[in-house]
A and B are shown apart, each in its own frame.
Chain A
Amino acid sequence: MAERITKNMARNIYFGGSLFAILLFAGLTMDTVQKVPELSNDVQITEAVASGKNLWEVNNCVGCHTIMGEGAYYAPELANVFDRRGQANEEYFKSYLQAWMAAQPLPNNGRRKMPQFNLTEQQVNDLADFLIWTSRIDDNDWPPNIEG
């Protein structure tokens, strides 16, 4: 195969192919950026949700957990933790998360440990709001079941 292709042909395939790919990808990117606000309920991003996302970041939660399948694979998926633990009730979920965060690290021998992050009550509520917002993103019905 390679014998019939000259160096000039190969170079043209490289330039032409790359240009095509870049233009196609740029077009799809523009379309995606326009559609994401609706798919993610952008209008629901309150100050609390934004603050919760910041807490998620500055405590490096993604260093152990996944969120929509991305992150580390050491601790449970959290994009659907509201569906899994919240009993469809935001207030219930917040009190659950308050108790859960306060109890860390759990004393169980050998179990994977979550550090104590010493978050305030307000901060845990913000984190809960962020996770509740995340659980409502239209992500093509992922994950397959409630266990994440």
Chain B
Amino acid sequence: MKYSSQMVAKPYFIFALILLAGEILFGLILGLQYINGDFLFPEIPFNVARMVHTNLLIVLILFGFMGAAYYLVPEESERELWSPLLAKITFWVFAAAGVATILGYLFVPYSTLAEVTYNNLFPTMGREFLEQPTITKIGIVLVVLSFILNIGMTVLKGRKTVITVVLLTGLVGMAVFFLFAFYLPENLVLDKFFWWFVIHLWVEGVWELILGAILSFVLIKVTGVDREHIDKWLYLIIAMTLVSGIVGTGHHYFYIGTPSYWLWIGSIASAVEPLPFFLMVLYAFTMAKQRRIDHDNKIALTWAKGTAVISFLGAGVWGFMHTLAPVNYFTHGTQLTAAHGHLAFFGAYIMILFTIISYAMPIMRGRAHGNGPKAQAVERASFWLMVIGMLGVTLALTAAGIGQIMMQRWPDTEALSFMATQAELIPIYKVRFAFGLMVFTGLLTYLYSFFVKENTTVNA
């Protein structure tokens, strides 16, 4: 570690991993409720568990992004962080606000939460992923602004690299598009239209810039490949991302009351969306092949390659499956959407966090060359448990989605009702739950790898 202020990243990473454990735990609760509707009812109704599941996901990714930025920006800018103190304060404010909001979901009925946080004065609540009380949303804006100020000042005062400029662009874009979370029109169609400005333009737009920047940083460090080369690839990937992803928002505007020209525009633009992910696979594997150093932290490179491959599968392949309007007519809002969402989020945004954490954490813990071979072997097992587990979850949800379409959507006459269809799918949901347990086991194994003691005595 070159700069002592990089250490502020550590609590961000640790907290992100703790939140991830909670996120998966609530995923398991939801998985059981899919099998037995009485599970934890009325203590934790499905909608509450789902809010906790998805909101923890968003918050943990934000913590991870912040940790990643605090770690890599000083090193790239070749100077200390502008204000380590501000980064520490931001951490505690964000952690407290996040925990308070989650406890609010769990222990107060949602309508009461809306009432006591004066949602009637400034309504923003009650939309998927944007369930946070208005006061929490304002808090998120303040935290993100102070974070961007800190990163921005460090970037501006130091050496400017393509990686930091792309990262900063992604972060500013993230803040700008979040402002649409405060716009809640009476017209449901307009509400939905601009809701996607936050959701889609985050995950299929500016977040991909952040992802590309973090991936590039780790690839430079563990392969020693020439920066010029890395920069070129990064530009190409994010160019494809934004060209396809921005207009690709249109693949959400097929069946929500928006004009029918979106059927064509959304289909065409979003059909290109797998391309940047495919480039990312080529990128990671080409850099690994052309590497000039053999870094001892081999598992970090494994995570980097895994990020590229699984995000290509989850976002690229599983996204393309149902992105064309005539296909989406039948798949829209089925378990197929859930299948895509799970693998895309895991591959792109959870695995990139494992990549940076597995690279940076050993260094912050005084192991410049990465963890020892025993710890890396444990971590490699956790990699496969989580990857295979998530692929299993995704395949099960895909099967459920296809079943749902065949029974409920496709038939013109004698289609099964939603509830009857779901009852038929319970065996598949059991398979999904089993693979979910595998993912959780994988995470526990990952966490355990931090505590593996290396044998310092030399074996004969």
Contacts and interface: CB of A to CB of B under 8 A. Distances in A.
A14 B238 contact: yes
A13 B243 CA distance: 9
Contacts of A134: 188
Given A13-B236, A70-B333, A113-B38, A58 B187 contact: no
Interface string B432-452: 000000000000000000000
Interface residues of A, number: 71
Contact of A77 (B250, B261, B333, B335): B333
A25 to B, nearest CB: 5
Interface string B411-423: 1100111110110
B259 A32 contact: yes
A5 B339 CA distance: 36
Q: Which of A32, A63, A72 has the most CB of B within 10 A?
A: A63
A76 interface: yes
A135 to B, nearest CB: 11
B146 interface: no
Given A14-B238, A75-B46, 7 more contacts: A28-B247, A32-B259, A63-B47, A64-B46, A109-B38, A113-B45, A144-B329
B232 A6 contact: yes
Given A22-B246, A145-B409, A147-B415, A112 B228 contact: no
A14 B42 CA distance: 51
Contact of A139 (B110, B193, B256): B256
Contact of B232 (A5, A42, A73): A5
B216 interface: no
B330 interface: yes
B119 A58 contact: yes
A87 to B, nearest CB: 16
Contact of A5 (B188, B236, B282, B421): B236
B239 A10 contact: yes
Contacts of B335: 73
B179 interface: no
Interface string A134-145: 100111101111
A71 B259 contact: no
A11 B233 CA distance: 10
Contacts of A49: 186
Contacts of B236: 2, 5, 10, 13-14
Contacts of B231: 7, 10
B408 interface: yes
Contact of B51 (A42, A59, A63, A67): A63
Interface in A49-87: 49-50, 53-54, 56-64, 66-77
B257 A21 contact: no
Interface of B: 33-34, 36-38, 41-42, 45-48, 50-51, 110-111, 114-115, 119, 123, 125-128, 131, 184, 186-190, 192-193, 228, 231-233, 235-236, 238-240, 242-243, 245-247, 249-250, 253-263, 265, 282, 286, 329-330, 332-335, 337-338, 408-412, 415-419, 421-422
Contacts of A138: 257
A32 B419 CA distance: 35
B189 to A, nearest CB: 4
B402 to A, nearest CB: 14
Nearest to A62: B128
A39 B189 CA distance: 9
Interface in A93-145: 105, 109-113, 115, 117, 134, 137-140, 142-145
A145 B328 CA distance: 14
B188 A147 contact: no
Given A10-B239, A57-B127, A58-B110, A137 B415 contact: no
B259 A53 contact: no
Contact of B128 (A6, A10, A17, A72): A72
B193 A36 contact: yes
Given A64-B46, A112-B419, A142 B126 contact: no
B232 A2 contact: yes
Nearest to A18: B242
Nearest to B253: A32
